[in-house]
Chains A and B, each alone.
Chain A
Amino acid sequence: MSNDIRVKNGLSINLKGAPENIVKKAPFPKTVSINPSDFHLITPKMVVKVGEKVSAGDVVFFSKKNPEIKFCSPVSGEILDIVRGAKRRILEILINCDEKQIAISHKISDFNKFSKNQILETLLNSGCWPFIKQRPYDIIADPTDNPKSIFISTLNTAPISADFEIVLNEQKKEFITGITALKKLTEGDLNICVEKNHNSFINEIDNVKIHNISGVHPAGNVGVQIHHIDPVNSGEKVWVVGAEDVALIGKLFLTGEYNPTRTIAVSGPPVKYPQYYKTIVGSSLSEIIKDAGIDTDLNLRYINGDVLTGRSVEKDNYLGFYNNTLSVLREGNQYRMFGWIPFINNAVPSIYKTSFSWLFPNKKYDLDTNLNGEERAFVVTGEMEDVFPMDIFPMQLLKECMSGNIEKMENLGIYEVAPEDFALIDYSSSSKIEAQKIIRDGLDLMISEVG
């Protein structure tokens, strides 16, 4: 049975530099990094030392709080450096890649006969577990939980982000295998959300629930889909897995090796050749940036992820663990004289009609990172609801998160939201409210107080 969901409240932002349907193989990186900040609230406990040799799939560190959750090296090579910050917090682990890659092999004979525990064990030991995240809280799932359902979103509505149809094109078998494995982890449904009227191989998969999604961003956000299909009540857990991550899990069960390849879309207005690259999780960005024809002398912002939710990195940094998009924007650190006057600056799409941008619905925009104003108190009401397609009061929830009122946060639906669901509120708020940050802090408070 398939369900149709249409998202009306939202905003699809048309940016220049959308990735073209070209997939290139990036050269194998010289160095890769594992960045613990990709794994929210995980405190790494190191297993290896600087100078030690590792194979692909060897454990690099595990979670201090939950030692079962292991993080493995994506390549074989030598630990180059463990970068530490204040209070010896681990910021980054750098690994020099060997020319000849070797991977440790996990024994997987016939996983179709595997029990739930065997699947769990394989995922945990191989380093694939961090691909599985949970709602509430948007953190890595706890393997001891019993999720009421699992969700996979295979559509991406964020501006100029990777199209999963292209990403999964050569990984169909792996994807289907991954689904079979994940299905064993829940007694509930395995839900796959697909774009409506797209005939993809996913529609043919058995034993799963397919949901047809249409509408504007954030229709592709898995949190929005969960809210409309099987909402998270307090005490319940739902697991979510990224579309390509399913294929990586599938690859593990097909080959017995942890080989986290990543297809990333390099996109953004300053990108000369916006296209896809096949590379490896954590690989250095500089080769890809050069190949995509980005002028690195310009003052640009590089973002691991899409322009609404990603994390900014330097051009000589590394690809993140989860993101399928590397977005590039011009830094907007310039003044604009009288830039606030209505109907003058029409170069920014808006939910308001205080500029003429709404006259050109198909225009592609070249936005920069200027804040376009200053942060103010909450004044205008109703604007957040316009870009928030859930039965939740976003402004009231934000205010309760700011005041740290746990009971109210719970009542207003904090368990159902993730920071990414508030990204468009960041974008469209006339008071320039940092909604994603407020929600992340609110979720962290819930984790520490309620758990």
Chain B
Amino acid sequence: MNIRQILDTVKKPFGKGEKFEKYAPAINAFDTFLFVPNHTTKHGAHIRDAVDLKRTMITVLIALLPALFYGIYNTGYQYYSQLGTAFSTMDAVIHGSLKIVPMIAVSYIVGLAIEFAFAIFRGHEVNEGYLVTGLLIPMIMPVDIPLWMVGVSVAFAVLIGKEAFGGTGMNILNPALTARAFAFFAYPTYMSGNKVWVSEASNVDGVSGETILGMLASGESSIPYDVSQMFYGVIPGSIAETSTFMVLIGALILIYTGVGSWRIMIGSVIGAAVTGLLFNLWGANELMSFNWFNHLIVGGFAFGVVFMATDPVSAAQTTKGKWIYGILVGLFCILIRVFNPAYPEGVMLAILLMNVFAPTIDHYVIEANIKRRVNRKIKSNLNVA
């Protein structure tokens, strides 16, 4: 018996009119993961592209991998280098993996359990969107956050951020950022300050570690990192956000395959760069005079813009809207960084804010199109008369 036949046997009790029909979405999710189903076209075009949401989402996962691997290494690196002990790359990777792999596991188990439950309850197939969300959530958390908090944040994001709005494709806010925002406001001591960004910083005396933006917000002007360290990400921060270089590799994959919107990414960079430059000219506090280029490569800006702002469901959906949305994400990110010392990292709130305004942006872009059509009709009637 080959795998296909085994699967068909296993699936039998889940078939139409059988005992476990209700639970079919769960078994189908596994089946369609192994095999592209034998469904043929019934309506419309008789041929179809090989792209489906599985392939799209997996492409995003592939784009995330460089940042993830680097994040795992950097977690160990920051820990050992702060301790001052000698260590090998392997040690760093092992330390990072021990911290991060359980977080990813918790995120997927909790999130997928809820997704499966809702799929069965609502009688639709399991959507692939959570494959990306589930990896994003641990990647944007501080490394020492307790696992149960990861679980609670995931549950909040999937239930309130997504399913409450009707499920995949209907949510207003980016689910991964909803999880982070929830954790940020519910457990602030684990999500901010200068004791959470390096592994074991709160337990081991020798280890401290503040993010660059944190230092700047508290008025320190001498940053102990140079530009190349910031760019390659040998700095403290949320797990996978630190390396702009690795994020750029991901960005190239997304742009090259056409899966991620380059308009949003470029728009955000322009928005942030111009805002940063203007504040450089003003220079009233440390964050304002922080070089505009450095603003782009520290903190979560690059990661947020490439992987979170481009979430097609919560971003603006029209071409023009994407530009406006992107530019505003960049602008607000720097604005929040500069003016609000309580939140030295602005990208999370900037994206969530623009998520809320994205439908409004689209509304005006679409209204312009409707207006063109109305004017065309008036003109045509004039010609006839």
Interface residues of A (CB under 8 A from B): 13, 15, 159, 231, 233-234, 236, 301, 303, 307-310, 312, 327, 329, 331-342, 345, 347-355, 367-374, 376-383, 385, 391-393, 395-396, 411-413, 419, 422-424, 426-432, 434-437
Contact = CB atoms under 8 A, between A and B. Distances in A.
Contact of B319 (A234, A374, A385, A412): A385
B53 A379 contact: yes
A380 B49 CA distance: 14
Interface in B163-195: 167-170
Contacts of B39: 333, 370-371, 374
A369 B47 contact: yes
A233 B37 contact: no
Contacts of B40: 301, 331-333, 368-371
A136 to B, nearest CB: 13
A327 B46 contact: yes
Interface string B214-249: 000000000000000000000000000000000000
Given A331-B40, A377-B170, 6 more contacts: A310-B46, A371-B48, A377-B127, A382-B322, A424-B45, A427-B45
A381 B373 contact: no
B16 interface: no
B35 A309 contact: no
Interface string B36-65: 111111011111111111111011001000
Given A337-B34, A353-B257, A370-B36, A379 B312 contact: yes
Interface residues of B, number: 57
Interface string B1-37: 0011000000000000000000000000000101111
Top-10 shortest CB links A-B: A373-B52, A377-B169, A339-B36, A426-B45, A436-B44, A348-B50, A340-B54, A233-B377, A426-B44, A335-B35
Given A327-B46, A370-B48, A379 B169 contact: yes
10 contacts: A13-B47, A310-B46, A312-B46, A333-B39, A350-B50, A370-B41, A382-B322, A393-B366, A412-B369, A423-B45
Contacts of B315: 381
A377 B38 contact: no
B282 interface: no
Most buried by A among B50, B56, B128, B376: B50
B206 interface: no
Interface string B322-342: 100000000000000000000
A298 to B, nearest CB: 14
A436 B43 contact: yes
Contacts of B376: 231, 233
B129 interface: yes
Interface in B101-131: 125, 127-129
